[in-house]
Amino acid sequence: MIDTLKLVSPPLPAETVAAVTAAAVHRSAVDNSTGEELWSFTSGELQGSHDHRVRFNVVGDSIKVEGSVHKLLLGHNIFGGSDDLQACARFIISGISARLGVELPMADAWEVHQIDEAGAYLFPSFEAVEGYFRALQGVSYPRRKVSRHAFQSIHVPGRLTTVKLYHKGVEFSAHDRKRLKKLMLRQELDWLQNYANGVLRSEVSLRRRLVEDFGHWPLVSEISEGYAKRVHDSELARLVREGKAEMQTVRTFLEVKARLQEVYTPRNAHLLLGTWMQLSAMGEPETKKGMSKPTFYRHRQQLLEAGCSWHSADIHQGAQLFPMDFVPVSTSPYAISGEHPDVKKQLDPFRAA
């Protein structure tokens, strides 16, 4: 699904730039000692039908436009977005032209400076999504710097792309839910929240990768159908593969026992296996009560470093919370696909005949 797009217009006539500037806010910095203008730009925001704003900057004789076309079309980006980049770009530029009352070049002639391609995957519960992030805590990525936030998200910046995985329910509650309170019925909003609680979302942000692949900032018309999705899937598959190659997370009793014996001395492996069994059966709060704080935190860290997860371990009675073979790519059987009817209706006028 196409989420955020950043588009840059061809050079515009002076009267068009003036009209756009008049609708925006001008900012500049001046060196007080010399009176020299150090920098200057004009920026603004446009409200969409769901009160989600598209940002635009005037830079010289061009304008830069950036916003989540998914949220602009639907009000949220939990599911139902489109993979039709051309139609999405035309929708955004047509809307800006109408709201500003200025004639802008056709969207196909604009440069694409960013595409955020997203995937969404439906898990059986909030706890299942959280369990997936818990399982990732002990996995290292030798060629990447990975930032983790609790059991909610991981963020992997890169020179050409940036990869994110996050719990949509947590993110929706913190951001979009507050915005949509004024626009949706409480019952509809609660349904979206409950649905999002079981959604894991992946995003790949393409910036310099576009120049790498095309040799220049590509035009909207140059980007073929499925291009962004192919990059998304290859980046996520590589990320998962790197983690597994470094150290496959293990959860079963026999696997954990073998891993600990492989990594630690026999005595330490025996002690850590006992702690792992307590964590698996009782959870962290109860396990902590029966151990000194230093020992508990040392054992927990050593288990994570060895890639041993006690969440959804086979010592529990009950089903695995999340699928062990899950990979966050568009071909996953857990992927949520298809355009929402409202998205299709709004984009149909902008599709190629």
Do the strands 25-30 and 161-167 form a parallel or antiparallel pair, or are they unpaired? unpaired
Task: Decide if 334 contacts 132 (C-beta within 8 A).
Answer: no
pLDDT of 57-67, one tens digit each? 888 899 899 88
Within this chain, do residues 46 and 193 fall inside the same structural domain, yes or no?
Answer: yes
- What's the one-letter identity of residue 143? R
The pLDDT value given to residue 27? 45
> Is residue 67 located within the same domain as residue 150?
yes
Residue 127 in any domain: the answer is yes
Q: Indicate whether 266 and 150 sit together in one domain.
A: no
How many Cβ atoms are within 10 Å of 175's Cβ, its own excluded? 11
0.95 surpassed by pTM: no
In a domain, 317, yes or no: no
> Alpha helices of 101-184 — where are they, by DSSP H?
126-136, 168-174, 176-180
Residues 268 and 332 in one domain: no
The answer to whether residues 83 and 203 belong to one domain is yes
Whole-number Å distance between alpha carbons of 149 and 57: 32
Q: How many helices (H) and strands (E) would you count in the chain? A: 14, 10
Residues 164 and 216 in one domain: yes
**Is the residue at 84 inside a domain?**
yes
pLDDT, tens digit, for every residue of 327-345? 889 999 999 999 999 999 9
Residues 184 and 290 in one domain: no
Of the two residues 244 and 210, the one the predictor is more confident about is 210
Specify if 17 maps to a domain: yes
Quote the domain boundaries for residue 147. Answer: 2-26+38-247+326-346
114 bridge partner residues: 6
Same structural domain for residues 214 and 241? Answer: yes
